[in-house]
Structure 1
Amino acid sequence: MEIYKGTATFSGIAIGKILYYSRGEYQIRQCLVSNIKKEIQEFHTARLQAVKELEELYEKNRSLNEQEAKFFLGQIRLLESESYQKAIESCISLEKVNAAYAIMTNRDELTETFRNLEEPVVRRRIQDIQEISARLIRILGGSCTRISLGDEPVIVVAESLAPTEIMEMDKQKLLAVVMHHGSAVSHTSIMTKTMEIPALVDIEADDEWDGQTAIVDGYTGTLYLNPDAEIKREYRIRLEADKKEKEELLKLKNQTDETADGKKIGLYANIGNMSDLNNVLFYGAAGIGLLRSEFQYLGRENYPRENELFRAYKQLAETMGDRLTVIRTSDLGADKQASYLDIPEETNPIMGNRGIRLCLDRKRMFKAQLRAIYRASAYGNLAIMYPMVSSEAEMDEIEEIIGEVKEGLKEKEIPFRDIQTSIMIETPAAVMISRELAKRVDFLSIGTNDLTQYTLAMDRQNPLLKNKYDDHHPAILRMIRMVVEAAHAEGKKAGICGEIAADTELTETFLRMGVDFLSVVPACILPVRKALRDTDLSVGEALETERSI
């Protein structure tokens, strides 16, 4: 038996055979071609087949996670772009080489040119190039198009996996995922979390593991390779207990969100698209604490029209009824871009023109979204949240625009409600002026994902920093306390909607800080509900853990 320690990105236990997945490395020979026109035609035939495959994959996966499924649409746009087609055609024509070799050459040149750049947008584009190149080469070689997991459920082990590769796999055959490269906040990890599949990263895999029995412990981040009889017996018991625990958690679906001593806490859901609504209702969330509205802007060729936004928000409002639904205005920029946005290239897009900054630069886009939200407010309990606010000057601009939007709706006699507004606290600057900001809105919501990377000056998706990035850093916890105290001083509520809101080890700490609400992914609703219902705030008021923060 061999034991490997990694990092768990989603909890759970899996026992089964390993399928070692390796992307096909094609040994492509350079062939001189005499019929260039025929070779270019073969490239376009393969390109159209690839587009068809990607369209089918998008339709198949959009109900699971529409935001992640839109990666397929991004790859379609790349295949259909004139610049990509011209690059391949030019290579075939000028060097008189076969299509597969031209595709491989283009891939390798781009990868080498940008391999040292860490910007998320560049990394995403290189990944797209590598994936569509592999797909095209596979089609040109007549290989199988599906990632087959075999007849029995398996634990997939790989050096790395792209979200698109996860989506191509049969979900019923996927017990767990183990990767060498990745992080808890990567898109692939988010996909496995959405699918509720145990996942580990930071485990150096070996292709000789293929076919061997393994145990994945998604609670401790441990992989047992060829476990002995005693460990197998122990984990079969734990697996059964894990299933029973989940069954017990399901009994909490309709329970109230309050501590053992009766303090009520808001427990909301973070969602990225409309397909998550069923899970929000199934797990009994108090409402939606964060709707990432970017899903309506990405994976398309132009800005969504106001009526399109309105229809989506109206459906959201009607479905949620009296439950509060907080719509974050579009947080575009950085790694969330679309070609039609035409955002100038930035040296450091994470620190660039994103969130509310971009909205205030593009007031027409911003007003269209605000009008859609206010129009939909007549059909339910909606609220607005502004991302990346870091100054009162930005709030002055926002309030002026809101005034114009309301006045325009009144003139046209379009019904709307005066809904709640909030700010997402995501920068140290916002923390330091959180009391002033609290005066401007109805509540504050702390976005710990960005707050952590801006406070630590670390890109949370940079693999070189994965062992140094710490969202439990004392500075982050102190900032949370500061924001909560600032909001309460103004008679307002404050909560957390970042990843650590789902960390049940911190639930009691947050509650003792006075956090009023937590917003987590739907799959984490019940574990957090159990943790807060098990907490008794009347006991141990001066906990050492609280003093140390």
Structure 2
Amino acid sequence: MSRSVTGMSVCSGVAVGPALVYLQQLPKQTLGSLASRAHIPQQQQRFLDAIAHLIAIYEKRLSQLPLDSVKLQTQAQLLEATLLWLDDEDMQQCVLDTIEQYQLTAVAAIDHVYSTHAAEIAAIADPYLASRSHDIRALGQRLCLYLSGQTTDITDIESPVILCCQDLSPGDFMLLDLTNIMGLVLRQCGLTSHTVILARSAGIPCLINCDFIAEGLSSGQNIMIDSQHQQLIIEPEDWRQQDNIAWRAAQLANQARYEHERLIPCQTLDGHAIKLRANVGNQQDIDNSRELQSEGIGLLRTELMFINALSLTDETVQFDAYYQAVMSLQGAMLTIRTLDVGADKPLKAISLGHEDNPALGMRGIRYTLRHQEVLMPQLRALLRAAHFGPISVMFPMLSQFEELDDLLDCLELAKAQLTALKHPFGELRLGLVIETPAAAMMLPALLPKLAFISIGTNDLNQYLHGADRGHPQLSAQFPILNPALLALMNTILQQAQHAGVDCGICGELASAPQATALLMGMGFSEFSVSLDCFGAIKSNILSLRLEDCRDLASSALSLPSLNALTACLNNFNHQAGLSNLSQ
């Protein structure tokens, strides 16, 4: 008999297949277990066998990576570094000696040695070296999991599965072989986490905040992600699968319509042009956006492009990535957000240390302004790439007027350095991501220095409500579409229009099909959206009259209640005949 678990759907679609439960949790008794002296050679051999097993897995995964994009190059670098650590003779000898000296099991010795080594590296003053501690600790955990009978490694999934995890970091997601990932179920994850953003970009059906552990789900069981009803079905009956076949058929019909509309200019029924661009995180995303006939890139998240890079100080590596991106766009605008590290966006190359409240800590330009060794190579690489095509650059997490002045000074210094080196460079179109209430309040003073702004609705909503966007309960209680955020966005837009500065939206609200009419009615004409929602958003734009959207905005912006706003939008969208609101 089937059982269902409620979650939150963040990427539409249906997936049916075997579950792969990957929890990365060691039985507590394995860590403190002692081996008798007679068993020491056996435990030492078990450790060496585990090393050989993981080396074989990583070498195989490395051989499968076609190194034709920056994304895959950074994955290869990470795998190569992992292989070096696995093959480190000093580390291996330390574990072997620990097993013999303290009569520990292989699992207990690995946990002790790798955790100790990770803690020592984390204490190093050099932030680049300190950032390696996480990788070493994770590698030790994978060795322990293998020896404890949990043989699955997410880099070595060889057949199609629905991956079920407690959580999954963006870095781990990028190591997955997505050809074998039918769907993704996360027990704890925020709606706007970057793992969710990556899953949506890849078009993988995904449920979050879904407690499959409470239902006793185990690997191998047949499960179904039902995005329509936001449920995970364990051992689904035939009728459930048949019911979703009809829903999938409707989705396929939508996809066929999107393909038909792909080459049609993006404008409303009454002839108002709308700029529709794409949110991307790597070169493959950029190539896919060209297939969708995007009018360029509205947000390139550079922290995702280099999420597994071992260093962020190599200007040449960054220039090569931006050059490839700008050339592939053939004159269309490339909008790049400078490094936005911190909170739910950890990077392999950076160690931020412990923060009691990382969402309010060293994020975005707060970090890069304090670490010129990271900021300056990126600015120089961007300027050099701008010599070959149009690039807009926007800075994240600004909340003080002085920060913008400091950034502009850094940009002038980068130009002077390139001039001294006789490197050609182009001019950058300068902008800000408006994602703090302080930036919104300071906007009249900031706008004269800018060519454009883009509203980052995810963080702006988080800081406006004082509610962690990654919190499973609060992300549902304070949805991205709400009266307070809309009122603030309306003020931001009016101020930008008064100053003659372009104002668009790059946050997840732009990718919500149910919000398209309202946002256009408010006056927004530039949207940057996730790839999986691109067709739905464009289809809505083509189906709507701007005059009707303005009437909707006039009514909706006067509503103080979340329930009243939701009802107003649902009624309008239903009457407009929009059928693709479940993206």
Question: Which secondary structure state, in structure 2, belongs to the residue aligned with residue 248 of structure 1?
Answer: helix
Q: 2:395 aligns with which of 382, 386, 403?
A: 386
Shift in Å, 1:482: 1.7
Contact preservation (8 Å) 2:17, 2:182: no
Q: State yes or no: 1:31 paired with 2:32.
A: no
After TM superposition, list the pairs within 5 Å mapping 1:437-456 onto structure 2: 437-456=446-465
Q: Is the 8 A contact 2:201 2:285 kept in 1?
A: no
- Once the two structures are TM-superposed, the CA of residue 68 in structure 1 deviates from its matched residue by 9.7
Asked if residue 46 in structure 1 is aligned to residue 50 in structure 2, the reply is: yes
Change (3 A) 1:359 1:150: closer
Of stretches 249-258 and 55-64 in structure 1, the one that deviates more from structure 2 is 55-64
- Give the match for residue 433 of structure 1: 442
Equivalent residue number for residue 468 of structure 2 = 459
Separation in 2 of the partners of 1:506 and 1:421? 27
Q: Structure 2 residue aligned with 1:97, among 80, 104, 110? A: 104
Deviates more, 1:242-251 or 1:339-348: 339-348
Unpaired runs of at least 5, structure 2: 118-130, 561-583
Query: Is the 1:154–1:176 Cα contact (8 Å) retained in structure 2?
Result: yes
Distance 1:345 1:137, change over 3 A: closer
| 1:529 CA drift (Å) | 0.9
Corresponding residue number in structure 2 for 1:545: 556
Give 1:222's aligned residue: 231
1:319-398 correspondence to structure 2 within 5 Å: 319-337=328-346, 341=350, 343=352, 345-398=354-407
Q: Distance in 2 between matches of 1:503 and 1:280?
A: 18
2:136 is the counterpart of 1:132: no
Mapped to 1, the partners of 2:9 and 2:369 lie a distance apart of: 39
Partner of 2:254: 245
The amino acid that maps onto 1:302 is S
1:261 aligns with 2:262: no
* TM-score, structure 2 as length reference: 0.78
Q: CA deviation at 1:488?
A: 0.6
| Matching residue of 1:486 | 495
Structure 1 unaligned residues grouped into runs of 5+: 111-123
* Structure 1 residues 504 and 74, CA gap change in structure 2 (3 angstroms): farther
Distance 2:261 2:429 in 1: 29
* Structure 1 Cα separation of the partners of residues 419 and 169 of structure 2: 48
Identify the residue that residue 516 of structure 1 maps to in structure 2: 525
Moved more, 301-310 or 315-324: 301-310
Match of 1:184 among 188, 191, 194: 191
Kindly indicate whether residue 285 of structure 2 is the aligned counterpart of residue 276 of structure 1: yes
CA distance in 1, matches of 2:233, 2:43: 49
Percent identity of paired positions between Structure 1 and Structure 2: 28
Residues 303 and 347 of structure 2 are in contact (CA less than 8 Å); yes or no, is this contact kept in structure 1? no
Would the aligned equivalents of 1:66 and 1:275 in 2 still touch at CA under 8 Å?
A: no
Check whether the contact 1:509–1:546 (CA below 8 A) recurs between aligned residues: no
Seen in structure 2, the aligned counterparts of structure 1 residues 457 and 528 have a Cα distance that, compared at 3 Å, is same
Q: C-alpha displacement at 1:30, in angstroms?
A: 3.0
Partner amino acid for 1:96? Answer: Q
TM-score by length of structure 1 reads 0.82
* Gap change, CA 1:362 and 1:4, over 3 Å in 2: closer
Residues 378 and 142 (structure 1 numbering): CA distance in 2 closer, same or farther, change over 3 Å?
A: same
Query: Cα distance, 1:345 vs. partner?
Result: 4.0
**Partner secondary structure for residue 385 of structure 1:** strand
In the alignment, structure 1 residue 203 sits paired with structure 2 residue 210: yes
Partner deviation per Cα, 1:382-416 (whole Å, 9 max, x = no partner): 11111111122111122222223334444555433
Q: What's the counterpart of residue 121 of structure 2?
A: none
1:519, distance to aligned residue in structure 2 (A): 1.1
- Measured at CA, do residues 450 and 68 of structure 1 come closer, stay the same or move farther in structure 2, by a change above 3 Å? farther
Give the distance between the partners of 1:313 and 1:415, measured in 2 at CA.
15
Relative to structure 1, the CA distance from residue 377 to residue 471 in structure 2 (aligned partners, 3 Å threshold; closer, same or farther) is same
The range that moved more, 471-480 or 229-238, is: 229-238
| 1:113-144 deviation line (CA, Å, top 9, x unaligned) | xxxxxxxxxxx999967853453135547875
CA distance in 1, matches of 2:472, 2:342: 21
Query: Any idea what SS the aligned residue of 2:276 has?
Result: strand
On the 8 A contact 2:10/2:205 being kept in 1, the answer is yes
| Equivalent residues, number | 535
